[in-house]
Amino acid sequence: MKFGLILLVTILFLAPQTQALAKSIELSFAMHIPPKAAPYHGAFLPWAKEVEKQTNGRVKIKFYLSQTLVKSRDSYDAVKNGIADISWVCNSWNPGRFPLTSVMELPYMVKSTFAGAHVLTDLYKKFPRMRAELEDVHLLHLWTTMPYEIHTVKKPVYKLEDIKGMKLATQPGARTVLNALGAVPVPMPSPKIYQTVEKGVADGSALAWGAFKSWKLVEVTKYHTNVHLAALPFCTIMNKNTWNKLPKDIQKVITDVTNKMLPDKLCAAVSAEKEIGKKQCKNRNQEIYELPDKEKARWVATGKPAWDKWVEDMKGKGLPGRAVLDEAIKLMKAHP
């Protein structure tokens, strides 16, 4: 009787703890992209499933796609303030907020999404002032888009003179490179680009091939010029309080799974999307034009003043812009 009573008390004592351990932690993930977009189904969804698997179901990540939880431009503050636990944020949505990180937006800086993502990560590790730009959230990983290309409706772009005066719908971070070319950037979130081009408010778009398919621009554009204008930096971030409340073993799983899968899986997903987008264009008999090296050199020359101005702007803010730029150039050259 005495042993049975002790056993019963022990079971009653442990039951709430067992239930607590069994209860899963649900994390909200706010995203601006639709369900069919490559970054979601090719990278973030597999990542979330792996986190759930490695935590034995203790962590479940619930996605809120197509801006259903927060608008894209508000996603950083939404994570910072706890409206969303996690989000995938384009730093360019908040101009001036991440000054050193914006080195990746400079004209013709990024040659590929793989190179951009890894160079940005290395810069972040090396420069404390860059890390300070994200100190109010927990950083999961960094990434950059593929370089932006030109997609137009009525007129092809073969040379520098062709783009002058063209209105191009694009992300805010692409304004510098387009202004230098004499084009007229029309900045907006990616979900609005299709309608803007369709209605003729813009002559086309400056957008990376990986996003081109996601936003169905093949339906409203006809001519495509590859010149690798500029890329945009992104970060996947988590609310700091949410992160700090997670058990240490779960923090380790999330960190390990992220380091193993991202950003490379994300880079691979958008790169595959590029090939699909190009195939769709060819199936519609649309033109894809590769800018010759000699002509491209003329375009690249227009971006040099923006590099010099960026360094001066950083100097004016007391930031090590020259050191960051020099290191970015060196790393980009060394990256395959």
pLDDT tens column, 194-241: 999 999 999 999 999 988 888 899 999 999 999 999 999 999 999 999
Structure pTM?
0.89
The closest of 139, 146, 4, 150 to 80, measured between CA atoms, is 139
Euclidean distance between CA atoms 265 and 258, whole angstroms: 10
Where are the extended beta strands (E) located within the chain? 25-30, 59-64, 86-90, 138-144, 148-152, 167-170, 184-187, 204-208, 223-226, 233-238, 287-290
- Nearest CA-CA partner of 68 in 82, 87, 49: 87
Q: Are the C-beta atoms of residues 109 and 253 closer than 8 Å to each other?
A: no
Residues 310, 96: Cα–Cα separation, whole Å: 11
pLDDT beneath 70, residues of the chain: 1-22
List, for residues 113-135, the tens digit of each pLDDT value.
Answer: 999 999 999 999 999 999 999 99
Tell me what pLDDT residue 15 has.
Answer: 42
pLDDT attached to residue 210: 83
184: β partners:
167
pLDDT in the model for residue 22: 52
Cα-based torsion angle of the residue sequence 101, 106, 109, 110 in order, rounded to the nearest 10 degrees: 60
Give residue 21's region: left, alpha or beta (phi > 0; psi -120 to 50): alpha
